[in-house]
């Protein structure tokens, strides 16, 4: 996986992405946003917002910024914002490994179906932690490799094929979170097929933990 390949693959997906991934993942998106624990006035970042399938789910009394690497995906998201009148949402094209936001800028950060598609998930998570305030929520909705040794071997076997279509199947949650300041509050399996996990974390980096 590299940045150029990710951009190429998801640019190709942009025209029919919603047809494939809207309804089947809708309930998981709803659950992930609920676990952000949003309050009125909160500032929210969605990393890898894609075509914006989750954007109508955010409370309108929050300020939402969605970032994505792929221009054609963002164009689809912009159409949704205009059609639905989502004035509280703004999109930016951005590399999630080098975010153009100041430290502690957001009260909550979501990455849905993203960590397995980026070349360096550790770098993306580090940036998510940096831009999220101390005490803020970080939620990951993703597939993580199974601890079952047989299933783990299967995942490693099919990993090259998954990588070819823009997705890695062997990402390990423990390795991803190792030596971070995140405390996992909930780890929930969600549909389809309980293959996906929602990981709700609190950002425990030093600070007073209050929004500003």
Considering the domain boundaries, does residue 211 fall inside one?
no
Confidence class for position 208, pLDDT limits 50, 70, 90: low
The CATH number that applies at residue 154 is 3.40.50.150
Domain range for residue 160?
A: 3-203
Q: What is the model's pTM?
A: 0.86
Taking 60 as the threshold, does the pLDDT of residue 53 lie above it?
yes
Considering the domain boundaries, does residue 172 fall inside one?
yes
Structure tokens at 38: 């949003």
Taking 60 as the threshold, does the pLDDT of residue 177 lie above it?
yes
Whole-number pLDDT of residue 100: 98
Residue-wise pLDDT tens digits, 134-167: 999 999 999 888 665 545 554 454 444 344 344 6
* Closest C-alpha to 155, from 173, 142, 172, 140: 172
Residue-wise pLDDT tens digits, 16-47: 678 777 788 999 999 999 999 999 999 999 99
Q: Which residues contact 171 (CB under 8 A, 6 or more apart)?
A: 115, 116, 121, 142, 143, 144, 145
Whole-number pLDDT of residue 85: 98
Residue-wise pLDDT tens digits, 5-20: 667 666 676 776 787 7
Considering the domain boundaries, does residue 57 fall inside one?
yes
137 within 8 A of 202, measured Cβ to Cβ: yes
106-112 vs 132-142, strand pairing mode: parallel
Whole-number pLDDT of residue 159: 47
Residue-wise pLDDT tens digits, 96-127: 999 999 999 999 999 999 998 888 999 999 99
Considering the domain boundaries, does residue 63 fall inside one?
yes
43-47 vs 63-68, strand pairing mode: parallel
Considering the domain boundaries, does residue 210 fall inside one?
no
Helix ranges (H only) for 54-211 are 71-84, 121-131, 149-164, 173-177
131 within 8 A of 28, measured Cβ to Cβ: no
Whole-number pLDDT of residue 148: 55
Helix ranges (H only) for the chain are 3-13, 17-21, 23-34, 71-84, 121-131, 149-164, 173-177
Mean pLDDT (whole number) for 179-199: 92
Split into its structural domains, the chain has a count of 1
Confidence class for position 169, pLDDT limits 50, 70, 90: low
């Amino acid at each position: 996986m590299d940045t150029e390949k990710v951009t190429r693959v998801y640019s190709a997906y942009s025209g029919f992405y919603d047809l494939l991934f809207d309804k089947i993942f809708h309930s998981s998106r709803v659950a992930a946003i609920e676990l952000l624990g949003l309050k009125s006035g909160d500032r929210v970042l969605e990393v890898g917002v894609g075509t914006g399938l989750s954007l109508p789910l955010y409370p309108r009394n929050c300020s939402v910024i969605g970032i994505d690497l792929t221009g054609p995906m963002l164009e689809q998201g912009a159409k949704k914002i205009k059609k639905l009148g989502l004035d509280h949402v703004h999109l930016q094209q951005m590399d999630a490994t080098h975010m153009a936001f100041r430290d502690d800028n957001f009260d909550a950060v979501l990455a849905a179906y993203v960590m397995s598609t980026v070349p360096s998930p550790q770098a993306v998570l580090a940036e998510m932690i940096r831009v999220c305030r101390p005490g803020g929520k970080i939620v990951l909705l993703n597939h993580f490799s199974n601890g079952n040794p047989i299933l783990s071997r299967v995942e490693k076997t099919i990993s090259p094929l998954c990588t070819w279509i823009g997705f890695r199947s062997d990402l390990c949650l423990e390795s991803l979170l190792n030596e971070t300041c995140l405390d996992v509050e909930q780890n929930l399996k969600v549909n389809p097929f309980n293959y996906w996990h929602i990981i709700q974390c609190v950002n425990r980096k030093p600070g007073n933990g209050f929004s500003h």
